[in-house]
Chains A and B, each alone.
Chain A
């Protein structure tokens, strides 16, 4: 067998159609397995609702004809709003702090003990503290998302800045640039694609924390929707809610990847 057609070759090229077929095939297999497990009552519906139950719950969430309302639409708007508000804060504070840390070994030495350990902090355990400090209102939820994501963003931005080869700094200095000009005009532009990757990671982190953020006293939101459904043992709605969150996380991921590609077309061609 030639190397190119071998399964165990990490460098083997793979046609887009083959890749898609394998991916779709795997998802369908899981769906079929799920349908079989629930269809033949091999698992209790209280533990695992069937695909069609979830689909029905989804339809109900999209449009509740009885009450003339869309629970899902409402919840999505609220969650999106919170992720967006926290995202603006994360970017507005995290990027400058990360850039300063990346640009100065002194600033980094001072700030990294205050930032780096929190990457492995139990963010969920912070929730009661956030409630104590900021109450149970909207600010608490946004600040919780912010805190959870910014501790990821800052070190990634710092590393993005530090990953820029020193040659560009040396060359700019030689041409007469001041240190600050070197950072602003040479290092930062080259760090931007990796900084964009850091933002994408931070947004993904926020989507995973949204349910936790909406744990306390949320009247609207996807996390609250799941909470509520769980309280009434509506497992089908819990599953539908989870799938919607995953879908939004994926959607925003691909949207941001696309935007990044448009902003920094040179990156992929290097």
Chain B
């Protein structure tokens, strides 16, 4: 088996339906209405959609992060490498918007946290774990902050910690739920550059949720646009332009056309709720 084979991965969603109990307890709401997808590495897949359309719901099921108290998915199946996935999966790690860094642990301890868990202790020898942690902290540019607490870091630095904690496990699938959504424009651009760098060094399948059209065009190999109430895949296209994408490309007719295509789709949704137009 070659190294490429070892990181080969496929992620399939089959007829995913998600219903949530209504807040007032009267019946259920259908949030996701029969989504099927086939994703393969390597690549950055952008999942774009209006707020509240079910992006997080869909992303969480890809990683086996299940909401407590609701069956997910209501119908359908998630398959990783063709195998149905029901719980947390070793090859899938998630980066949350609110980064979930532990306030009581230093940067280094935060990044090394997964290796305190039995399942990773068994698989990765201590010396290798230490070396991976240190290398990853340097890779995300926090070499000078090893012993700092998260409260001493900025939002962007905190998101670097979360990214490092996910990547030390060398996941084959990395799920990111609006990870840079809370950052200012300057910091977001820096984080996007960093993510692309890390991706080039160690390609994996990244599914990246965003509601920012520019972010989708900056990062994505493939862009999935979701409709809302209930969500379907409304548009699905590839971007062939290699990364890093220059600002000249961002202004090119191709980029502008793609942007208009996405915006049309998103606006179509808010004016004609529930109706679905699929154009692939």
Contacts and interface: CB of A to CB of B under 8 A. Distances in A.
Interface of A: 166-168, 170-178, 181, 185-186, 189-190, 192, 264, 266-267, 269-270
A269 B117 contact: no
Contact of A173 (B65, B120, B151): B65
B152 interface: yes
Contacts of A172: 113, 117
B63 A178 contact: no
A16 to B, nearest CB: 23
B68 interface: yes
B169 A266 contact: no
Interface string B75-104: 000000000000010100110101010111
B98 A176 contact: no
A176 B119 contact: yes
A185 B117 contact: yes
B169 A175 contact: yes
Contacts of B88: 173-176
A266 B96 contact: no
Nearest to A193: B104
Contacts of A166: 68
The listed residue with most B CB atoms (<10 A of its CB), out of A166, A176, A186, A264, is A176
B245 interface: no
21 contacts: A167-B100, A171-B94, A172-B113, A173-B65, A174-B63, A174-B88, A175-B88, A175-B113, A175-B117, A175-B120, A175-B165, A176-B88, A176-B114, A176-B117, A178-B117, A178-B119, A190-B102, A192-B104, A267-B103, A269-B151, A269-B152
Contact of A175 (B98, B104, B114): B114
Contact of A174 (B68, B93, B98, B151): B93
Interface range for B? 20 to 34
A171 B96 contact: yes
A185 B120 CA distance: 14
A182 to B, nearest CB: 9
A266 B68 CA distance: 29
A175 B149 contact: no
B166 to A, nearest CB: 8
Contacts of A264: 104
Of B94, B102, B165, chain A has the most CB atoms within 10 Å of the CB of B102
Contact of B116 (A185, A266, A270): A185
A230 B77 CA distance: 77
Contacts of B104: 189-190, 192, 264, 266-267
B117 A177 contact: yes
Contact of B118 (A168, A178, A189, A192): A178
B92 to A, nearest CB: 8
B152 A174 contact: no
Contact of A168 (B65, B100, B117): B100
B270 to A, nearest CB: 30
A270 B151 contact: yes
Contacts of A186: 102
A148 B88 CA distance: 44
Given A175-B114, A176-B119, A168 B102 contact: yes
A266 B119 contact: no
Contacts of B90: 176
A174 B65 contact: yes
A173 B93 CA distance: 10
B65, B96, B104, most chain A CB atoms within 10 A: B104
Contacts of A170: 65, 96, 100
Given A172-B117, A174-B94, A176-B119, 15 more contacts: A166-B68, A167-B100, A168-B100, A171-B94, A175-B120, A176-B90, A178-B119, A185-B117, A186-B102, A189-B102, A190-B102, A266-B104, A266-B149, A269-B103, A269-B152
B118 A181 contact: yes
B154 to A, nearest CB: 14
Contacts of A178: 117-119
A155 B149 CA distance: 30
Contact of A190 (B103, B114, B120): B103
B100 A270 contact: no
Nearest to A173: B88
Nearest to A184: B116
Nearest to B68: A166
B173 to A, nearest CB: 12
A192 B116 CA distance: 19
Contacts of A266: 103-104, 149, 151
A267 B149 CA distance: 11
Which 4 residue pairs spanning A and B have beta carbons closest together? A171-B100, A176-B119, A269-B151, A175-B114
A161 to B, nearest CB: 15
